[in-house]
Amino acid sequence: MFTHIFFDLDGTLTDPAQGITNSFIHALKFYGMEIPSYEELCKLIGPPLPYSFETTFGFDHDKAMQAVAKYREYFSTKGLFENKVYPGIPELLQTLKEQGKHLLVATSKPEEYSIKIINHFGLSKYFDFVCGSLMDESRSKKSEVIAYALDCAGLGKADKEKVLMVGDRFHDVEGAKANGLKSCGVLFGYGSRRELQDAGADYIVKSVKELSALILGSV
């Protein structure tokens, strides 16, 4: 059914919790702010950074962009690799490639960092393109990243029914819908079933095994 699979990165291909939470702590300490619990910080995994600093901590745009720079002081040198691939993901990607699927990464994380992470974990051989935001936080909305990925893949309006967007947060689902794509929410990441249902996910799976079955049409 689907020939092109777009994967979110954080919370879908890899578990980035340690690096992301440490980077938020680094930034918040700069402002002398009370540090939220680990569980609260994990809720910030997925959305664009300016959005998180503005909506969660009440920063205005300029302060949020300064906070992003402080976050990246830590992330660019340490947090980037405080990360791990979810069990079963390499095997899934290998199987999908063997079945002739075209795989792309579509993430709100800066493309520069995303490529480094994909390369670090030996996953680059599976992907046609790694598509992310720019370092100035432009193209950070998920709808913009997905539109860019469609363009990179050379896919037009007639091809959209062949594309599935896979992610763990409501931004992935909303970004897919904005581009006329089907979406699959995964529950092994950082979004809840309620969040994904409310956003309108077409499919929701609990595991990598279920995701594989869905894509390969064996359910």
Q: Which of 8, 15, 168, 172 is catalytic?
A: 8
Nearest to 117 by CA among 2, 7, 12, 14: 14
CA-closest candidate to residue 110, choices 20, 208, 173: 20
Q: How far apart are CA 147 and CA 199, in angstroms?
A: 19
By the 8 A CB rule, do 174 and 210 touch? no
Q: Catalytic: 8?
A: yes
Residue 14 pairs with which residues in a beta bridge?
Answer: 10, 85
Q: Which two tokens stand for residue 127?
A: 């992907």
Burial per residue of 177-214, b for 16 or more beta-carbon CB atoms within 10 angstroms, e otherwise = bebebbbbbbbbbbbeeebbeebebebbbeebebbbeb
Q: At what angle do helices 61-75 and 17-30 cross, to 10 degrees?
A: 130
3-state secondary structure of 159: helix
Catalytically active residues are: 8
